[in-house]
Amino acid sequence: MILDAQHPLSSGLTADSRLIQAYQGTRPAVTPVWFMRQAGRSLPEYRELRVGTRMLDVCLDPALASEISLQPVRRHNVDAGIFFSDIVVPLKLVGVDVSIVAGKGPVLGKAVRTRADVDELTALDPALLDTALAPISAAVSLAVSQLGSTPLIGFAGAPFTLAAYLVEGGPSKDHIHARALMHVEPDAWAKLMAWTAEVTGRFLRAQVLAGASAAQLFDSWAGALSLADYAASVAPASAAAIAHVRDLTYTVPGAADGAEPAESVETWRNVPIVHFGVGTGELLKEMHNIGADVVGVDYRVPLDEANRRLGGAVPVQGNVDPALLAAPWPVLEAHVRDVLERGRTAPSHVLNLGHGVPPDTDPDVLTRLVNLVHDVSAAE
């Protein structure tokens, strides 16, 4: 499907941005930088805005969600906005009993532990999202209208991470029940994963159609899996999820080799897709193989080693250790410079954190870090 002519990628507004260049595998003159969870608890303006509100209500309020998405772009001069929402929003909208409990995270009204539970859950029709996602589309459109040439990144939770929450009933350290269901009831597990792929894929597609210039699939809990389990029981669903975005294309002006300007041709490109997981150093190649263009790397694996595991041909994103945001500036600066240097081994690199911004991070440190990345990379 070709994106609408007014989409920021199709219109050329964001197609040549640093971020999109890097995501497409071209190294820009200045390394782009943004931060996972940059929109949220580390910003005083966010905390002020959230007084007296509930998380999911905010996510479904287009004015609030768009404003929160814009806050870190204004403050830090990052090269992209990340849409402010939560991975359980599509579950809520399709009819799942889920809430976000402060200090704990998503909590389900009922854990999905048996074949009967899976049958009951999957009777909820993902097609309901075609209309239920209207507040999400509106929020994205509002944010994009104010970002100008700065791209907005859409995001969604990977099928396994959603399934893990559903089966465990909430956050878990080891995801024992989810992994058990995977092996004890493989048919029920496959049905659950196909359903979560459809739900989260529709969520991601709605954001891109509304104006997001890239899409990121988060697999927060995939690090709990063996490579064999991931490849056999998770990767197919992740591929199905991003297939909802994989077919979205746009064109950019180009010229055939040796052609005169009058013979210029259009080049077709897909909306870039990033896949990120926590603790997934052993899964990087399989995570790329689902159809992602870019692989996000957490702080546990150096970028040059991640690039080696990916075959030296994949754009990478990451991977400053979030813990060092609280370190003395010389320590953080040395670490960031090292990450930039290791990132130069890959075809292109988007600097990010190896996980999200901790809530107690000094916002001025993030702004200073952005300036450092831009200055250092521009001087190389």
Contact 154, 161 (CB under 8 A): no
Does 15 appear as a known binding residue? no
What tokens does 12 get? 């050329």
Residues contacting residue 360 through CB under 8 Å, at least 6 positions apart: 42, 326
**Residue 113 is assigned to a ligand binding site:** no
Alpha carbons 35 and 49: distance in angstroms, whole number: 20
86 annotated binding-site participant: yes
Q: Is 300 within any annotated ligand binding site?
A: no
| Residue where the block lists tokens 């746009």 | 250
220 in a labelled binding site: yes
Tokens 């081994």 belong to: 345
CA distance 376 to 380: 7
How far apart are alpha carbons 303 and 201 in whole angstroms?
28
Residues assigned a catalytic role:
37, 41, 50, 86, 165
* Residue 165 labelled as part of a binding site: yes
Is there a binding annotation on residue 39?
yes
For residues 231 and 286, is the Cβ–Cβ distance under 8 A?
yes
E strands along the chain, which residues?
A: 81-82, 98-101, 105-108, 152-157, 214-219, 249-255, 264-270, 273-277, 294-296, 316-320, 349-353
Which residues does the annotation place in the binding site for substrate?
37-41, 86, 165, 220, 355
Which residues does the annotation place in the binding site?
37-41, 86, 165, 220, 355
